[in-house]
Structure 1
Amino acid sequence: MAKITKIEPQIPALPTRKKVAAYARVSMETERLHHSLSSQVSYYSELIQKNPEWEYVGVYADEAITGTIAKKRDEFKRLIADCDAGKIDIVLCKSISRFARNTVDLLETVRHLKELGISVRFEKENIDSLSGDGEVMLTLLASFAQSESESISNNVKWGVRKRMERGIPNGHFRIFGYRWEGDQLVIVPEEAAIVKRIYQNFLDGKSRLETEREFAAEGITTREGCRWVDSNIKVVLSNITYTGNMLLQKEYISDPISKKRKKNHGELKQYYVEDTHEPIIDMETFQYVQSEMARRRELGALANKSLNITCFTSKIKCEKCGKSYVRNTRKNRAKVSQLGDQLVGWVCGSSKTKNGKCKAMEIPEYILRQKCAEALGLEEFDEDAFAEQVEVITVPEQGILNFHMTDGTEKTLTWVSTAKKDAWTPEARKKASSYRRNHAMKRYDVTCFTSKIKCADCGNNYRRQTRTKASGEKYHLFVCATTNTCSNNCIHEDTLRELTAQALGQQALDEAVFLKEIDHITIAPGGHITFCFYDGHEVSMEYSTKRRMPAWTEERKKKQGEAIKASFTEERRRKMSETMKKIRSEKYWASTKAKR
């Protein structure tokens, strides 16, 4: 009988639909362009959804954002992120200029998407980035788009400058103390009072730093609620707008692509417009403040009364990096010395900064005063004479001071630091030694026994060591510091704590009581330990110096048994059997021979 096989009809597989998104952008926030953006979004939404081969992902739209800088476009960045996540296969865009006006950004983005297999299609130019000549056409047309952007920028700049020539500012800039009502600046009384106070403080001789601290103490903040800092105060003191006049084009954009702003130091024309709004500060006061700021800038740190300055401030310069030396005060750890409780010196200012590379050594102030007196030909240092006769001191290298006098002469003197020798007097050494003997150093491996255990054989201290058992468990013991030459025994920390508790009559060691009552511990060879108390009496004990062998765990016993069993192979058993037979045979014949 013939075999019959039923063949089921095949259902044709539907082609996988492409995931498609669109990108739209307008660069200015106007009603007309807003309508244009809405039209782009509607058009591409309808276009994608009508195509049966496409799956609608969405339309990404940036409004009122330039196309020259990609990192400022949030929707554009979200589009690229979704492409990286595999959510999009095709990106539609009206034109190259809508996608990017920066040639570098355009090509980098398109190439990145091309590596992911994502097509970018530009409707106006009829270009597909995955096509053979797509990138060549993109490069050419993107260059035109960038040139167009630069041309538009130049046209806008020309219009802005023409308005400036007529005294019209470029937009409604923000300034503390005023607000815009239409095209007119109007005073904000509360803010104007703060502006006047900033100027008054400066006229009273206060530094900007003093004003900053004063405002912080009183809770006075900027319009955004932030703290007033030196830079904010400087802007207020140097802004001519507070006089009721305007200086236009104080800044300009050097590159229309990067949008980098620069201060106008004479590169472009500026326009001074008088009587444009009500003043907060009169012109005479403003001009005086500018001249005073210039005078203080010339004086440098000496003009800032809030700084702790001396006659040497701004007078000592490092020849290696050009920075001024600054005063450095630190605590004298020895404390018992002719230098007092504080050590004062002068170091290069760059060494105090975070990434300072200058390694010039500190000049002790007492040596600096001695050398200044020597350069001036005086027995003792005189600040007035120094300020009058010395213009500046330069430091070319360690140990050399070049004195540049106001009369044009120069003197070079050498010096050698003796600060360490002067600080460590016999009294200071004795005090430090006594402190170290009775106080443990503040380290993680220090215990109450540190510096308390003495070797009876060589007289040195015992030190704590950490060892590791085969199981990975760590333990501690104390050994003589001269382990290589001293034969005295070590002692385990656990044993030491038990013996110390017994000597103090405690069940468990109380470290506070130990430090209070026991002066030191002496360990002699053979396991003899003596506890010496502060009241003069001693307690002697003995301990075992035999090496401690760790007890075998059940796991280790089992592992060792299995290893022994595994080692007895059939071949090994046979060899051992033959060996034993031979030994027994030799013993038998030897005993038989002896009997004969």
Structure 2
Amino acid sequence: MRKINIIEPKVPQMPSRKMVAAYARVSMESERLQHSLSAQVSYYSSLIQQNPAWEYAGVYADDGITGTKTNDRTEFNRMIADCEAGKIDIILTKSISRFARNTVDLLNAVRHLKDLGISVQFEKEHIDSLSEDGELMLTLLASFAQEEVRSLSDNVKWGTRKRFEKGIPNGRFQIYGYRWDGDHLVVEPEEAKIVKLIYVNFLNGLSAESTEKQLEEMGVKSYKGQHFGNTSIRQILGNITYTGNLLFQKEYTVDPISKKSRKNQGELPQYWVENTHEAIIPMEVYQAVQEEKARRRELGVFANWSINTSCFTSKIKCGRCGKSYQRSNRKGRKDPDANYTVWICGTRRKTGNAQCQNKDIPEPMLKEACTAVLGLDEFDETVFSEQIDHIEIPAPYEMVFYFKDGRIVPHRWQSTMRKDCWTDERRAAKGRYVQEHQLGPNSSCFTSRIRCDQCGENYRRQRSRHKDGSFDSVWRCASSAKCSSPSIKEETLMALCAKAMGLDEFEETAFREQIACIHITAPYHLSIHFFDGHTFEAQWENKRKMPKHSEKRKQHMREVMIQKWRERHGESNDHSGDDQPVYGNAD
């Protein structure tokens, strides 16, 4: 018999197309480079769409952004995010220098994409990042691209210095009080008045912060229309351009990759050009301000008369973190006479114990230690300022006094402030305050006021909810597991306290004002103590109300128990006879 083979038609499987994107970049904004960027975008769009094995995933283009950093390259970062989302399989780019001019950033990006299985193809260098020698070639060529940036930077710096030597500024910088008219700085009259005011205020002893407040009240804004901050005021006080002269290369770029700038402290030459524009501030006034700044810098915090200083200011140093101790005035919560002053490490004051654990020093203890070290009968600020250079706090309760004559005297101290300030009156007031304010979510006016004399613990509140939604509150001893003192219902407590105060109904305000505490002196016996000293003795009884069961209810419970017994022992419900077990009483 012949065998018939049925051949099923097979649908040919087309290979999946690769998602291909391109990256383009120009580093400067100009008409020529804009045309270059447009040409790159058009070229790659056409190239990708003409390849049948590729699917167009877009062209990412950064316009006028340097290739030395990836942080500010919006389109580059968006492309990386789309790669992580699985939207791209291949990236095309013109050259290594277009992709990145920083070797580290280039290799990090390529390695990250390689881990994702994404190929980066550099057209000019003919390199595929997924090939065997791709990373080696990229490392070498990226180093050349980075060095090219350094070479270009050096050439730009050379040209800039040549212009400085001829008195030509490096571009049109922004400065408050002036505007550019062609290649010349011209005074802006209204802003010039503010510049003069800033200089006059400083010479009259005002700080930059005081001038900041004054300008805010006047409604004066900065060059860009923002708040005129004290930092801008200090920059104006140190800018020699206001004298009608220019000083070039006051700052310089450390390296072209990081692009970090640094103040020129003599590392590079500076260029002084006189009488380039109209002056707002005379040179002698500018010099006077610089001398005053140096004087205030030497005086430190004492130069600012608005700061409340003492003889200890800036003289107490933390031996652990090196910061100065700062004065702190603290207030008692309830008693106005309980105010006190302490000296606290600046680091600890700002960050807490995480950074520095040196102890605070009460000012009376500090004066007492200084008096002992100086050999005086009582503390004298003048003698302290004349003899002591500074005090170092190497560890808690330790001081090291450094005299101006070179002597070093260690000293140990112990704070007694807590013991000294806790008089009987203040202790009673504190206890009253705690009783009135130490309330939690499950507490009331009785919280922390009911004491068990048998074990010494406080009574605590317990609440139980009924089916109808109502609550019952009962007060039990905190050691009820070990203590035999009975519980007492809150409604019973309220009734006894109202009776003790001579009221028809319990009033919480009257209770807080009159009753200090309640002692459970014996089982079912309590003593109510008033603030005026008298007491009120009372007894109570906890009555248990048990519902009485009817005969019908008792018979029902017997049948339920018999049924449960049968189910547990596998017996059927149709058992009858005298051998049936009987539960409960027949009546």
TM-score under structure 2 normalisation?
A: 0.83
Q: 1:378, 1:228 → 2: CA distance?
A: 50
Alpha-carbon offset, residue 502 of structure 1: 10
Moved more, 117-126 or 484-493: 484-493
Work out whether residues 528 and 543 of structure 1, in 8 Å CA contact, stay in contact via their aligned partners in 2: no
In structure 2, the partner of 1:196 is 196
In structure 2, the partner of 1:448 is 445
Q: 2:397, 2:136 → 1: CA distance?
A: 66
Alpha-carbon offset, residue 70 of structure 1: 0.9
What code does the residue aligned with 1:209 have? E
In structure 1, the partner of 2:483 is 486
CA-to-aligned-CA distance 1:235-262 (integer Å, 9 cap, x gap): 1111112212222112222121121222
| 1:395–1:457 Cα change, 3 Å | closer
| 1:202–1:444 Cα change, 3 Å | farther
Work out whether residues 526 and 545 of structure 1, in 8 Å CA contact, stay in contact via their aligned partners in 2: no
Work out whether residues 527 and 545 of structure 1, in 8 Å CA contact, stay in contact via their aligned partners in 2: no
CA-to-aligned-CA distance 1:496-522 (integer Å, 9 cap, x gap): 67988999766xx86446546766555
In structure 2, the partner of 1:234 is 234
Alpha-carbon offset, residue 425 of structure 1: 1.9
Matched, 1:213 2:213: yes
In structure 2, the partner of 1:55 is 55
In structure 1, the partner of 2:384 is 386
In structure 2, the partner of 1:461 is 458
Alpha-carbon offset, residue 477 of structure 1: 4.9
In structure 2, the partner of 1:118 is 118
Q: 2:539, 2:221 → 1: CA distance?
A: 72
Moved more, 294-303 or 238-247: 238-247
| 1:268–1:321 Cα change, 3 Å | same
What code does the residue aligned with 2:386 have? E
What code does the residue aligned with 2:42 have? S
| 1:341–1:4 Cα change, 3 Å | same
In structure 2, the partner of 1:343 is 340
Work out whether residues 524 and 539 of structure 2, in 8 Å CA contact, stay in contact via their aligned partners in 1: no
Q: Counterparts of 1:299-448 in structure 2 under 5 Å?
A: 299-333=299-333, 335=335, 340-354=337-351, 357-437=355-435, 439-448=436-445
Q: 2:413, 2:515 → 1: CA distance?
A: 48
SS of residue paired to 2:286: helix
SS of residue paired to 2:317: strand
Alpha-carbon offset, residue 458 of structure 1: 5.8
Moved more, 107-116 or 528-537: 528-537
Work out whether residues 527 and 536 of structure 2, in 8 Å CA contact, stay in contact via their aligned partners in 1: no
Work out whether residues 455 and 522 of structure 1, in 8 Å CA contact, stay in contact via their aligned partners in 2: yes
What code does the residue aligned with 1:78 have? R
SS of residue paired to 1:252: strand
In structure 2, the partner of 1:28 is 28
Stretches of structure 1 that go unaligned for 5 or more consecutive residues are 549-560, 575-580, 585-596
| 1:78–1:499 Cα change, 3 Å | farther
Q: 1:222, 1:567 → 2: CA distance?
A: 94
Alpha-carbon offset, residue 202 of structure 1: 0.5
Q: 2:397, 2:497 → 1: CA distance?
A: 54
CA-to-aligned-CA distance 1:120-165 (integer Å, 9 cap, x gap): 1111111222223222222221121112122212222222222222
Q: 1:158, 1:565 → 2: CA distance?
A: 103
In structure 1, the partner of 2:259 is 259
| 1:566–1:283 Cα change, 3 Å | farther
Work out whether residues 24 and 93 of structure 2, in 8 Å CA contact, stay in contact via their aligned partners in 1: yes
| 1:278–1:565 Cα change, 3 Å | farther
CA-to-aligned-CA distance 1:507-563 (integer Å, 9 cap, x gap): xx8644654676655546655667788998777542247999xxxxxxxxxxxx9xx
| 1:393–1:157 Cα change, 3 Å | same
Q: Counterparts of 1:544-563 in structure 2 under 5 Å?
A: 544=543
Alpha-carbon offset, residue 297 of structure 1: 0.7
Q: 2:19, 2:433 → 1: CA distance?
A: 77
Q: 1:476, 1:380 → 2: CA distance?
A: 60
What code does the residue aligned with 1:487 have? S
Q: Counterparts of 1:467-546 in structure 2 under 5 Å?
A: 477-481=474-478, 483=480, 486-491=483-488, 511-512=508-509, 515=512, 520-521=517-518, 523=520, 527=524, 540-544=539-543
In structure 1, the partner of 2:574 is none
| 1:414–1:346 Cα change, 3 Å | same
CA-to-aligned-CA distance 1:351-377 (integer Å, 9 cap, x gap): 212266232222222233334344444
Work out whether residues 242 and 279 of structure 1, in 8 Å CA contact, stay in contact via their aligned partners in 2: yes
| 1:459–1:303 Cα change, 3 Å | same
Moved more, 454-463 or 290-299: 454-463
Q: Counterparts of 1:135-214 in structure 2 under 5 Å?
A: 135-214=135-214
Q: 2:67, 2:255 → 1: CA distance?
A: 14
SS of residue paired to 1:58: strand
Q: 2:319, 2:517 → 1: CA distance?
A: 54
SS of residue paired to 1:212: helix
SS of residue paired to 2:43: helix
| 1:566–1:183 Cα change, 3 Å | farther
Q: 2:50, 2:334 → 1: CA distance?
A: 87
What code does the residue aligned with 1:379 have? D
In structure 2, the partner of 1:249 is 249
In structure 1, the partner of 2:557 is none
In structure 1, the partner of 2:90 is 90
Q: 2:485, 2:448 → 1: CA distance?
A: 17
| 1:369–1:501 Cα change, 3 Å | closer
| 1:505–1:189 Cα change, 3 Å | same
Q: Counterparts of 1:276-295 in structure 2 under 5 Å?
A: 276-295=276-295
Moved more, 93-102 or 259-268: 259-268
Q: Counterparts of 1:557-596 in structure 2 under 5 Å?
A: 573=570
| 1:416–1:115 Cα change, 3 Å | closer
In structure 1, the partner of 2:554 is none
Work out whether residues 253 and 259 of structure 1, in 8 Å CA contact, stay in contact via their aligned partners in 2: yes
What code does the residue aligned with 2:182 have? G
SS of residue paired to 2:277: coil
SS of residue paired to 2:149: helix
CA-to-aligned-CA distance 1:444-464 (integer Å, 9 cap, x gap): 454221133243656753234
TM-score under structure 1 normalisation?
A: 0.81
In structure 2, the partner of 1:588 is none
Q: 2:475, 2:232 → 1: CA distance?
A: 62
Q: 2:329, 2:348 → 1: CA distance?
A: 14
CA-to-aligned-CA distance 1:33-76 (integer Å, 9 cap, x gap): 11111111111122222223322222111111111101111111
Work out whether residues 94 and 122 of structure 1, in 8 Å CA contact, stay in contact via their aligned partners in 2: yes
Q: 1:323, 1:547 → 2: CA distance?
A: 72
Q: 2:546, 2:279 → 1: CA distance?
A: 92
Aligned-CA RMSD value = 4.1
Q: 2:314, 2:146 → 1: CA distance?
A: 50
Moved more, 207-216 or 404-413: 404-413
CA-to-aligned-CA distance 1:307-360 (integer Å, 9 cap, x gap): 111122122223333222211110135748xxx431112222222122662322
Q: 1:183, 1:159 → 2: CA distance?
A: 18
Q: 2:160, 2:68 → 1: CA distance?
A: 20
What code does the residue aligned with 2:237 have? L
| 1:541–1:26 Cα change, 3 Å | same
Q: 2:523, 2:406 → 1: CA distance?
A: 78
Number of aligned pairs?
558
What code does the residue aligned with 2:447 have? T
Matched, 1:44 2:41: no
